[in-house]
């Protein structure tokens, strides 16, 4: 699809505008947190910002949200949930390095962050309970609802990790494109979530 990879760039621009170098748009962020969907009356406070950055090809022609609108709105709402109460930007770019001599990326995917959190046995059961139905559904509303709970769990742990919300927006867009791509997104999420512990398990078996 011609416009696939524009979603990530659009989300970057919107989050940059919401954060505004530390001068947070608190009204728009509050609107995002209080609105479960883009069609919610409470979402109207952020509509001007969305319409400014979403190209016409991503906008609805009949009042039914497009897959682009759903993906971007969900991602920036999740960002708003994590950003609440924090001055430092909580969104990062998992493709960029912090410095030339530093191998660590300036941000991680949400499921990579959750994988690190899963190492804590105190939250593993709760996380797995949210992850398992998420990886088994094709319903985008269910996916977004599960992601909301996962971000809330991740935020409550105060992990000092920046999440790549533009990447999540791209994933949510791809998820809605067709059944095949939804399966690829689910597999990618599952790999990110389970691979850390699987690697540790393999090392442990080799040492036995």
Q: Tell me the pLDDT tens digit for each residue of 145-175.
A: 999 999 998 898 877 789 999 999 999 999 9
Number of domains in the chain: 1
Rounded to the nearest 5 percent, the helix, strand and coil shares of the chain are 70, 5, 25
Residue-averaged pLDDT of the chain? 88
Confidence band, pLDDT 50/70/90 cuts, at residue 177: very high
Residue 47 lies in a domain: yes
Rounded to whole angstroms, the Cα distance separating 138 from 161 reads: 28
Instruction: Give the per-residue pLDDT at 206.
Output: 46
Confidence band, pLDDT 50/70/90 cuts, at residue 29: very high
Confidence band, pLDDT 50/70/90 cuts, at residue 44: very high
Residue 24 lies in a domain: yes
For residue 127, give the CATH number of its domain: 1.10.520.40
Q: What is the pLDDT of residues 62-107, one digit of tens each?
A: 989 999 999 999 999 999 999 999 999 999 998 876 555 455 568 8
**Which residues on neighbouring strands pair with residue 108, listed in sequence order?**
163
Average pLDDT over residues 49-53: 93
Residue 17 lies in a domain: yes
Instruction: Give the per-residue pLDDT at 180.
Output: 95
Q: What is the pTM of this model?
A: 0.88
Instruction: Give the per-residue pLDDT at 196.
Output: 59
Instruction: Give the per-residue pLDDT at 78.
Output: 98
Residue 155 lies in a domain: yes
Alpha carbon 26 to its chain centroid, in Å, reads 20
Instruction: Give the per-residue pLDDT at 128.
Output: 92
Residue 1 lies in a domain: no
State the residue for tokens 């969900």.
Answer: 74
Q: Which domain holds residue 86?
A: 6-207
Rounded to whole angstroms, the Cα distance separating 175 from 196 reads: 24
Higher per-residue confidence, 1 vs 3: 3
Residue 143 lies in a domain: yes
């Amino acid at each position: 699809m011609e416009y696939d990879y524009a979603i990530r760039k659009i989300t970057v621009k919107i989050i940059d505008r919401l954060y505004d170098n530390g001068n947070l748009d608190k009204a728009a962020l509050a609107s995002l947190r209080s609105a479960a969907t883009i069609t919610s009356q409470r979402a109207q406070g952020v509509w001007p910002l969305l319409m400014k950055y979403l190209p016409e090809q991503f906008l609805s022609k009949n009042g039914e949200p497009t897959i682009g609108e759903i993906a971007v709105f969900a991602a920036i709402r999740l960002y708003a949930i994590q950003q609440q109460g924090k001055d430092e930007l909580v969104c990062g770019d998992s493709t960029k390095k912090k410095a030339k001599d530093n191998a660590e990326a300036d941000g991680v995917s949400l499921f990579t962050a959750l994988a690190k959190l899963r190492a804590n046995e105190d939250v593993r059961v709760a996380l797995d309970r949210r992850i398992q139905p998420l990886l088994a559904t094709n319903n985008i509303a269910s996916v977004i609802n599960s992601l909301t709970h996962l971000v809330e769990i991740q935020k409550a742990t105060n992990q000092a990790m920046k999440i790549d919300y533009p990447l999540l927006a791209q994933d949510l867009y791809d998820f809605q494109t067709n059944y095949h791509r939804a399966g690829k997104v689910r597999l990618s999420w599952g790999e990110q979530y389970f691979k850390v512990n699987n690697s540790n398990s393999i090392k442990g078996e080799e040492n036995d």
